[in-house]
A and B are shown apart, each in its own frame.
Chain A
Amino acid sequence: MRLLAAIFDSLGKSVLHAVEEMGRIILLFLSVLSWMVRPPWRLRNIFKQMEFVGVRSIFVVVLTGMFTGMVMALQGYHGFRMFSAESMVGSAVALGMTRELGPVLTSLMVTARAGSAMAAELGTMKVTEQIDALYVMAANPVQYLIVPRVIAGVIMVPFLTVISDFVGILGGYFVGVQILNINSGIFIKNITKMVELNDIYNGLIKAACFGLILSLVGCYKGFNTSGGAEGVGRATTEAVVLASITILISDYFLTALMF
């Protein structure tokens, strides 16, 4: 009986902690929104973050997108061949990439690369009192540090998703047409027939939402770091885990709403 009570106690505490944390992240989001519209607009910081989140993630996103497209073509081919519909490989790859894998994989890769770096950088600034120094110099840290990162996340993840979608389909084309000998014209025609602009748009809206999640969670975890180097390490890990889980869960609900 005591064991059961302890289990429920621990379960209840975890749920309360999760709800409390979600509330704090939402409060941070509201604070970001309110600071976003107030001058000064720190364009230099925003462009610096856009370069960090976006431009420097291109390589890893291209690699992920291309191999995902290639493996989808390979797997799809074996599946479709069972009922002689190999020509559908192209549209399967294109739909899969634009609706799901492009936005999700891109944002997971950006979370691992940039979301973790946000948590680590802000966490280090927190434990070395650099964030306090910003307050003391009458510069609001939310406006100075978090707003540029969130803007960069929301703008750049959709851009990276476009690249991921494109190279994914290109990878699928390479495997489908060059290796598995599917007719090139049919491959492309099936893509244009099946994929609608809405599929791409909705994928990009998802990507923007994921960009918001990964940057907000990364900044939140960094901003609330305590306990020296160990604390920074913990904040970084928690940021990646929490952002990845939130992206995957919200993906389901966004998909249910959109398609």
Chain B
Amino acid sequence: MIKLVDIHKSFGKQKVLNGLNLEIEDGKTTVIIGRSGGGKSVLLKHIIGLMRPDSGQVLVDGVDMTKLNDKELNEIRKKFGMLFQEAALFDSMNVGENVAFPLREHAKIKEKEIWEIVADRLRAVGLTGVEEKMPSELSGGMRKRVGLARAIALHPQIVLFDEPTTGLDPIMAEAINQLIIETQQNFNLTCVVISHDIQSIFRIGHKIAMLYEGDIIAYGTSEEIRASDNPVIVQFLAGSIEGPIRIM
């Protein structure tokens, strides 16, 4: 289980996370929603130890990520996969080598087995025969699929998604949503998705958390969030200009 306890994080004078608390359940998809620039990515980077909080604890299976040294952090990161917003595929490697990368780094298996897993993971995201292509030859949707194949290559317990449908057309966005649902079920993953795509969040999220002014102001199932009368959530879901969320 991932548990964030009283997380504070500031950049200069700007407070981004302000005493944030959140528990993420195992084997479920939790979607964190909130405004662009509201600290969602910062929160995700805290979960995987890319950023350290000014104060507070990030507990992954009871281990406080904020207290670990580089070596210990690397060990615990093997439990994670992450799909970045722009997929973050290595430009210098082809698709196959990208997916094979975590396997080559950490799985002590033969080259033949590596390529079998690569083909299997690419098949799982609906791609076949693209191993030789370079990332620059792929469309946005394909890049994200390859990114997901790489994220699940080592069969992680937890996969983090940074705005997986941003920049995609509605059909491709739906395809990615479907893929997240299938992958979560097939690999029994704990998924943490950050998004502000209203259609997607209710489609994929078992639990939804709303981040506002550095804290989680609501947490619940899709139905609970939809039924919420909190003016911030109502305004956010309606995409209205009028309301407590101010446009800067």
B106 A138 Cβ-Cβ under 8 A: yes
A130/B105 contact (C-beta < 8 A), A137-B77, A138-B77, A140-B74 known: no
CA distance A139 to B153 in the complex (A): 15
CA distance A138 to B77 in the complex (A): 6
Complex: chain B residue closest to A40, CB-CB: B105
Chain A residues, Cβ within 8 Å of B81: 136
B105 A136 Cβ-Cβ under 8 A: no
Q: Does B219 lie at the interface of the complex (its beta carbon under 8 Å from any beta carbon of A)?
A: no
Which of A124, A132, A135, A137 has a CB less than 8 Å from the CB of B102? Answer: A137
A135 B85 Cβ-Cβ under 8 A: no
Q: Does A184 lie at the interface of the complex (its beta carbon under 8 Å from any beta carbon of B)?
A: no
A137 B84 Cβ-Cβ under 8 A: no
B53-97 CB contacts (< 8 Å) to partner A: 70, 74-75, 77-78, 80-82, 84-86, 88-91
Nearest chain A CB to B161's CB is how many angstroms away? Answer: 12
Chain A residues, Cβ within 8 Å of B78: 138
B91 A135 Cβ-Cβ under 8 A: no
A130 B75 Cβ-Cβ under 8 A: no
Which of B50, B86, B90, B101 has a CB less than 8 Å from the CB of A135? Answer: B50
A138 B82 Cβ-Cβ under 8 A: no
Nearest chain A CB to B231's CB is how many angstroms away? Answer: 34
Nearest chain B CB to A228's CB is how many angstroms away? Answer: 12
Complex: chain B residue closest to A35, CB-CB: B70
CA distance A9 to B37 in the complex (A): 33
Chain B residues, Cβ within 8 Å of A124: 91
A138 B75 Cβ-Cβ under 8 A: yes
Complex: chain A residue closest to B77, CB-CB: A138
CA distance A125 to B80 in the complex (A): 21
Chain B residues, Cβ within 8 Å of A140: 70, 74
A133 B90 Cβ-Cβ under 8 A: yes
Q: Does A128 lie at the interface of the complex (its beta carbon under 8 Å from any beta carbon of B)?
A: yes
A136 B85 Cβ-Cβ under 8 A: no
Chain A residues, Cβ within 8 Å of B101: 137, 139
Chain B residues, Cβ within 8 Å of A133: 82, 84, 88, 90
A130 B90 Cβ-Cβ under 8 A: yes
B85 A129 Cβ-Cβ under 8 A: yes
CA distance A121 to B157 in the complex (A): 32
CA distance A247 to B86 in the complex (A): 38
Over the window 102-113 of chain B, the binary record of Cβ atoms lying under 8 Å from chain A Cβ atoms (1 yes, 0 no) is 100110000000
Nearest chain A CB to B176's CB is how many angstroms away? Answer: 18
Complex: chain A residue closest to B92, CB-CB: A121
Which A residues have a C-beta under 8 Å from some C-beta of B?
124-125, 128-130, 132-133, 135-140
Q: List 13 A-B contacts (CB under 8 A).
A: A128-B88, A130-B88, A132-B45, A132-B88, A133-B90, A135-B49, A136-B81, A137-B102, A138-B74, A138-B75, A138-B78, A138-B106, A140-B70
